[in-house]
Amino acid sequence: MVGYRSGTGLVQKKIVEPSCGCGAFLTVIAERLADEVAATGDWDRICTSVLGLDIDAEALERCEAEVARTLAARGCPEEEAREIARGWLRRADFLLDPMPECDFVVGNPPYVRATEIDREKRALYCSALPSMTSGCDLYVGFFDRGLDILRPEGRLGFVCADRWLQNAYGRKLRRRVGSSCNLEALVRMHGVDAFEDDVDAYPAITLIRKEAAHGPIRFINCVSDFAKVDAERDTRAVLDWLADPSGNMKGERFEAFEITRPEGDDVYPLGSSELVEFVTKARAALPDPEEAGIRLGIGVATGCDEIFLTDDEHLVEPERMLPLFFMRDYRRGRLNRERWLVNPWTTDGRLVELEHYPKLKAYLEAHRERLGMRHVAKKNPAAWYRTIDKLTPGLVERDLLFMPDMAAEPDPVLSRGKYPHHNTYWIASDTWDLRVLGGFLMADTTRRFIDALGVKMRGGTLRFQAQYLRLLRLPRYESLDETVRDGLRRAFDEKNRDAATYFAEMAYEEVLR
């Protein structure tokens, strides 16, 4: 895909493999370079054509042996093959150490979550790399650094997670590849058994050229049972389509089509061609939830649930006990279980004076050491008994829809008189009948939106966080005719997802046709 092919003058080009490991990419690079010089025997010409990097000394040793063996098998004298292999490799940190300019960056960057990166190293990465933030997984830095060292018109090709195209931490990198760099093509391989070892990350092949962004993106979507036989049979045709896409291309377990490039740092709609078309049209024609009169928020994070949450309604003064909606109870069928939040907040967002509530004071003082260990308490010792989040005024007094943060399907719950816990997102509206809205949200159209625009978890679980719910596009309530309203309301009451989908699709068809 990056154009690194024998017979194209590779010896005049420079390729960098930033995390070469034991040589899965470098041995193929060696084969293709060797094919250009084997006939003349002028092996010196490839001595500086490659740079392979890793921080693992043992992996580099194995890689050197494999590369030398590969060159020797192509006719290079063994001693010279060892010298060339040794000269290609360097133990270094690709993200921080000096790097040469190059024409190609190719590899499979390590997938290390942000929380697993050494704190000091993470700070260095964030200061050195324009798209890297403290919340970024490590591979984002490899994209950033790879694009930095590319010469104009150079190409980067990674087998890597594509989560950055749709989550918050990828915003800066999306902005970069939507302006000064050009995301040319993406081959999505979610759930595909494409690696020697099982992987948790959702992989894709990503191709970026060092040039101003322009035109649509060439996208290939593979279904999960895409197999080696598909690659062997269709690679040539796919490469031809990538070079000159003319219309859509459909294989037995994949389809290829072009998608409109999102603007700025907007998320990318990805999935089947039908899904991408639906979501793209809806986002262009319909309002987002806030514009449609819908408010979104998240439940309370306490920083110490074992102290602030209780089953004892009479633990402290009644006015300091707030009924709590706990999504885990609901999803486990424990509908009759009652929980309360020990509430240290007044209705106007101030911490209560403990002297006014002797029972509350005694209870919190008994746990002061534990509460004081929290980060939020260390930042403000005088407010040691606060929850991490303040409470949103008025939520308990109104009808709300609650959504789980993670689920396979959207499952809104209508509630009144309870405050949501932090793994729950709340939805309120002054214009919508919430039963109608609940029917809309439980419809498969909502799942499709989140599927196309949101990050997936293991097993296909979707995230219904506020940041993704805000990506939904809905008709305005006043635009829905009574047939659609009644159908959605009844579907919600009966928990009939098929009926909800039928009427939601009817509503979309009226405005998108």
148: CB partners within 8 A, 6+ apart: 99, 129
Cβ–Cβ contacts within 10 Å for residue 211, how many? Answer: 15
Q: Cα(119)–Cα(488) distance, rounded to whole angstroms?
A: 49
Dihedral of CA atoms 91, 94, 95, 98 in degrees, nearest 10, equals 90
Q: What is the reported pLDDT for 219?
A: 97
Q: What is the reported pLDDT for 201?
A: 62
Please compute Rg for the chain using Cα positions.
28
> Greatest CA span in the chain, whole angstroms?
92
Half-sphere exposure of 138 (CA within 13 A, CB side): 20
Do the beta carbons of residue 364 and residue 358 sit within 8 Å?
Answer: no
Q: Cα(64)–Cα(66) distance, rounded to whole angstroms?
A: 5
The three-class DSSP label of residue 99 is: coil
Nearest to 440 by CA among 268, 289, 333: 289
**Domain 93-268: top CATH class:** alpha beta
Q: What is the reported pLDDT for 200?
A: 60
Instruction: Give domain limits for the chain.
Output: 11-92, 93-268, 294-512
CA angle 176, 180, 181 (to 5 degrees): 75
* pLDDT tens, residue order, the chain (513 aa): 999 999 999 999 999 999 999 999 999 999 999 999 999 999 999 999 999 999 999 999 999 999 999 999 999 999 999 999 999 999 999 999 999 999 999 999 998 999 999 999 999 999 999 999 999 999 999 999 999 999 999 999 999 999 999 999 999 999 999 999 999 999 999 888 777 766 666 789 999 999 999 999 999 999 888 988 998 999 999 999 999 998 999 999 999 999 999 999 999 999 999 999 999 999 999 999 999 999 999 999 999 999 999 999 999 999 999 999 999 888 888 878 899 999 999 998 999 999 999 999 999 999 999 999 999 999 999 999 999 999 999 999 999 999 998 888 899 999 999 999 998 999 999 999 999 999 999 999 999 999 999 887 766 688 888 888 999 999 999 999 999 999 999 999 999 999 999 999 999 998 887
What pairing do the DSSP bridges indicate for beta strands 102-107 and 15-17?
parallel
Beta-bridged to residue 180, according to DSSP, are: none
Q: Cα(507)–Cα(501) distance, rounded to whole angstroms?
A: 10
